Amino acid sequence: MQEEIFKTKRASIKQCELTDSFLLTFEREEFVFKLCDLFAFRKKIMALDLIALLESSAPDVEIIHLPNCDRFLVLSLKEILEFRELLNGTFNTLALNSAVRRIFRRNVFNF
């Protein structure tokens, strides 16, 4: 069963409980990540220097290697910003879900 965690206009991340993985859909392509790979991907996206990208005379694109995969993404500045929104939303949702479960467990077992 796949449950959507977060979605933007062109991308989404779903969690699959059966395979314990995350499914990133972007531009009609799907990429499967384990949690540690999703963290690594987020770290790469967040580490991109957008100011340097804007100030450069080169095209405003970055080539990102996907963790544990033979695939690359060529992302424009707009797509980088969308991925930042997607990944921040995903990890905020996961953190909130974890906090709710922790509170629920504590309240259920302490009556």
Task: Give the pLDDT confidence of 59-101 residue by residue, as tens digits.
Answer: 889 999 998 888 999 999 999 999 999 999 999 999 998 888 8
Sign of the Cα pseudo-torsion (100, 24, 7, 75, in order): positive
Burial tier of 34 (Cβ tally within 10 Å: 0-12, 13-18, 19+): middle
Q: Are 47 and 37 in contact (CB under 8 A)?
A: no
Which tops the pLDDT comparison, 110 or 67? Answer: 67
Alpha carbon of 41 to those of 69, 95, 101, 108: distances in Å? Answer: 11, 17, 26, 36
- Per-residue pLDDT of 21-38, as tens digits, reads 999 999 889 999 999 999
Sequence spans of domains, the chain = 2-108
Specify the length of the chain in residues: 111
**Higher pLDDT pick, 24 / 1:** 24
* Residue 60: predicted pLDDT: 86
Tell me the mean pLDDT in the region 3-20: 95
